[in-house]
Structure 1
Amino acid sequence: MPAKNAFYAQSGGVTAVINASAAGVIETAREHPAQIGTVYAGVNGILGALHEELIDTAAESAETIAALRHTPAGAFGSARYKLRGLEENRAEYERLIEVFRAHDIGYFFYNGGGDSQDTAHKVSQLGEAMGYPVTCIGVPKTVDNDLPVTDTCPGFGSVAKYVAVATREAGLDVASMAETSTRVFILETMGRHAGWIAAASALAREQDGDPPHVILLPEVPLDEQRFLDRVRRSVEDFGYCVVVVSEGVKTADGRFLSDQGTRDAFGHVQLGGVAPVVAAMIKNHLGYKYHYAIADYLQRAARHIASATDVEQAHALGRAAVELALAGRNAVMPTIVRESDSPYRWHIGEVALEAVANREAKMPEEYIDGSGFFVTEAALRYLRPLIAGEDYPPYRDGLPDYARLRGQRVARRLAPFGT
């Protein structure tokens, strides 16, 4: 049987290591030319398939593909674009199959979170129904660390490392100036429904009194008075207070503290900056001078300080996705299975896409301490190995030297979508 081509796409918010997974997919596919022909990458994720905008990765050198391992963001372009259900949106799914058929694509590797795993699952079902079966393998990715089953998600370990480092460094800054200047510093992290990223800031604390002094998690409804009391006590005891707040913190009645009243492409509530809301609360009730920072894209793009564990796992999961496909597996996602905390040991497992599609893994109760403002030792044991090790990119002229793709496009064979 002649080799089928493969389609690879990146989805949702990018990370410091999503390209390491891309490298794992492409490099492993190249090792098996008898089974996999060309790997085509979607321009801007799944939109590349819908609009037949494909990049021929065979035109990229082995050195360039290898360099993806140390390059942040989405090298082929990503998109926040959710395909709706098959019943209400069959045309888009049928278009995917038409493009796959036109370019002899028999493998689909979708690198993303829960929504993306749902799409890959539906494509596997529709391909079978349309008489054009496609092997669909999910590749996990999300900085929020909120995919179930897998021990961790590529992207999280590096953002966790960034936030822990930023908390320690900013804490030293504030402590050195608190007597005559800023008393409270607030760092806002990503994390809509799960507080994993904010929780990772706890790794910065080496001894009692070190920052962070308060962590606000989406899993714990904000009690404003208890929070303000905690901030006041920190300033009285230590001279300053560092607060780390997840963007998804909610009020007691379930409203996002920073709800802008709009929704994004996935239908999620569009969140504004929660840090200025918290800062105003502190200023109005306690009168302390404050500063705040919103880590935003900086936290997920920080490849210069990526976790070596995270890079290794991202690449390994991309490789494992291809190996699963070649082994005849379909509609599955490779996972990280933890064997031990210290020394940290793990291996690759797998899970059916339907078990992770559109599902979120929040922080378990045993990871949140009784006050609701910090994490437990169990959480720290889980988090520590995920930020371990450094994997610095090469530098040129004082700056990271990241990969640049040729991005050679594949000739279209179909009419534009929707015409």
Structure 2
Amino acid sequence: MAKANLFYAQSGGVTAVINASACGVIETARQHKAEIGKVYAGRNGIIGALTEELIDTSKETAATVAALRHTPAGAFGSCRYKLKSLEDNRAEYQRLMDVFRAHNIRYFLYNGGGDSQDTANKVSMLSQKEGFPITCIGIPKTVDNDLPVTDNCPGFGSVAKYVAVSIREAGLDVASMCESSTKVFVMEVMGRHAGWIAGAAGLAAEKEGDAPHIIIFPEIAFNKAAFMRKVKACVKRHGYCAVVVSEGAHYKDGKFLADAGGTDAFGHTQLGGVAPFLANLIKQELGYKYHWAVADYLQRSARHIASATDVEQAYAMGKAAVDFALAGKNAVMPTIVRKPGKSYRWTVGEASLAEVANVEKPMPRDYITRDGFGITQKARDYFSPLIRGEDYPPFKNGLPDYARLKNVLVTKKLPIWKAP
């Protein structure tokens, strides 16, 4: 009887360390050749399974796979594609089952956020009913850090390090010019409903007067009058004001400051431009000269300044996913468990996919200062170890030398799939 094959896919917005999880999966699977046959990766995530575009990772050398650990973005391609419910579109799930059967795939490892864990959970349940049981393991990933149960999410530590470094450096820049030039700098970071990334930027402010002076969180409704008072007082006291704002900042009625109209592939409101919005608001109300920046993809792809803790944890989650699958666990996700004590220590735990699917974890209120514009010591204690350590990629000719994969596709066995 042929050995069971493993299917791995990357989903949603990529990170600086998602490929470290892929490296953990492939390297660990290669150590278990008696139990696992081929390791296939979906070309462009779950879409690769639907279109039967399966990448044969055995065509990659050990050195190339190892290089994934220090390579950002999604090496096999990711996607924003949410499978509908089983009731609404069983055809998509049936197609997945057909592809898995055709290629003897018995292990499905899905590297993504809450929507991805929901998909893996549904595939697990359907496969049991179909009489072709598939072991489904989720691998946590999201820069937003909003998955429940796990202490933190791979991808977050590196983006947290990037935004803290960026606002510190930009703050020094503005401080040096504020007497005769720019007085306000606004930096927009990711975070639709949870302000973890914006909060982490607060680590840069180690003493009174350090940037950022103001943080705008999705967890705190935006109050224009209070914000303007804070900006004015900051400029008067320090000569300038550095602001970090989450893209999901909103008014009391729930409307986003940067609601661009329309929705994305997951049905989420399309956001855009909260930094220029705030900067212009400040100009209109207070007359200060300003500059603004949107970290956007730069924050999540900055592997050159990744957190060593984040890289280690991302790899560990990939490894644990394979270990879980071979141990007979199903419909679960490895998690990061922070151990108690003054020094930072962590271990691998687990959560059921049902607990994780489609659940968002916001920042606790006690991580945010009473005035709603900063972070508390409790937040600092949480964030600080996650950005520690440097894990620089190798450089060649002055630039990072990242992995370049062959991404060889296996021969298709089924008719071409057409979306319902």
TM-score normalised by length of structure 2: 0.99
Q: Look up the match of 2:335.
A: 335
Deviation string 1:335-394 (CA, Å, 9 cap, x unpaired) is 000003631100000000000000000001111110000011000000000000000000
1:346-385 equivalent positions in 2, closer than 5 A: 346-385=346-385
In structure 1, distance between residues paired with 2:340 and 2:48: 40
In structure 2, distance between residues paired with 1:63 and 1:134: 30
CA spacing shift, 1:341–1:267, aligned 2, 3 Å: farther
In structure 2, distance between residues paired with 1:202 and 1:418: 48
Q: Look up the match of 1:251.
A: 251
Q: Which amino acid aligns with 1:348?
A: V
Contact 1:2 1:34 in 2 (8 A): no
Q: Look up the match of 1:113.
A: 113
Q: Which amino acid aligns with 2:94?
A: E
Q: Look up the match of 1:103.
A: 103
User: Equivalent residue of 2:252, what SS?
Assistant: coil
Count of residues in Structure 1 that have an aligned counterpart in Structure 2: 419
Deviation string 1:80-132 (CA, Å, 9 cap, x unpaired) is 00001100011001100100000000000000000000000000001111111
In structure 2, distance between residues paired with 1:227 and 1:297: 27
Contact 1:341 1:382 in 2 (8 A): no
Q: Look up the match of 2:93.
A: 93
In structure 1, distance between residues paired with 2:304 and 2:416: 40
Contact 1:164 1:200 in 2 (8 A): yes
Give the C-alpha shift of residue 2 in structure 1.
4.3
Q: Look up the match of 1:206.
A: 206
Q: Look up the match of 1:125.
A: 125
Q: Look up the match of 1:26.
A: 26
Give the C-alpha shift of residue 184 in structure 1.
0.2
Deviation string 1:216-258 (CA, Å, 9 cap, x unpaired) is 0000000000000000000000000000000000012110110
User: Equivalent residue of 1:66, what SS?
Assistant: helix
Are residues 1:74 and 2:74 paired? yes
Are residues 1:8 and 2:13 paired? no
User: Equivalent residue of 1:340, what SS?
Assistant: coil
Q: Which amino acid aligns with 2:412?
A: R
Report the aligned-residue RMSD.
0.8
In structure 2, distance between residues paired with 1:183 and 1:129: 63
Q: Look up the match of 2:263.
A: 263
CA spacing shift, 1:341–1:237, aligned 2, 3 Å: farther
CA spacing shift, 1:99–1:399, aligned 2, 3 Å: same
Q: Look up the match of 2:46.
A: 46
User: Equivalent residue of 1:76, what SS?
Assistant: coil
Contact 1:304 1:392 in 2 (8 A): yes
Q: Look up the match of 2:17.
A: 17
Contact 1:2 1:35 in 2 (8 A): no
Contact 1:187 1:275 in 2 (8 A): yes
Q: Look up the match of 1:153.
A: 153
Q: Look up the match of 2:197.
A: 197
User: Equivalent residue of 1:329, what SS?
Assistant: coil
In structure 2, distance between residues paired with 1:294 and 1:241: 17
Q: Which amino acid aligns with 1:276?
A: P
Identity %: 67
Q: Which amino acid aligns with 2:15?
A: T
Q: Look up the match of 1:285.
A: 285
In structure 2, distance between residues paired with 1:25 and 1:338: 22
Q: Which amino acid aligns with 2:409?
A: R
Q: Look up the match of 1:135.
A: 135
Q: Which amino acid aligns with 1:137?
A: I
User: Equivalent residue of 1:323, what SS?
Assistant: helix
Q: Look up the match of 1:173.
A: 173
User: Equivalent residue of 1:111, what SS?
Assistant: strand
In structure 2, distance between residues paired with 1:81 and 1:341: 41
Worse overlay, 3-12 or 332-341: 332-341
In structure 2, distance between residues paired with 1:145 and 1:182: 33
Q: Look up the match of 1:301.
A: 301
Give the C-alpha shift of residue 407 in structure 1.
0.8
User: Equivalent residue of 1:138, what SS?
Assistant: strand
Q: Which amino acid aligns with 1:227?
A: F
Q: Look up the match of 1:182.
A: 182
In structure 2, distance between residues paired with 1:333 and 1:94: 23
- Unpaired runs of 5+ in structure 2? none
Give the C-alpha shift of residue 205 in structure 1.
1.0
- Unpaired runs of 5+ in structure 1? none
Q: Which amino acid aligns with 1:299?
A: Q
Q: Which amino acid aligns with 2:193?
A: H
Q: Which amino acid aligns with 2:337?
A: V
Give the C-alpha shift of residue 3 in structure 1.
2.1
In structure 1, distance between residues paired with 2:324 and 2:355: 17
Deviation string 1:264-290 (CA, Å, 9 cap, x unpaired) is 000000001100110111000000000
Contact 1:218 1:246 in 2 (8 A): yes
Deviation string 1:288-329 (CA, Å, 9 cap, x unpaired) is 000000000000000000000000000000000000000000
User: Equivalent residue of 2:325, what SS?
Assistant: helix
Deviation string 1:30-68 (CA, Å, 9 cap, x unpaired) is 000111110000000000000000100000001000000
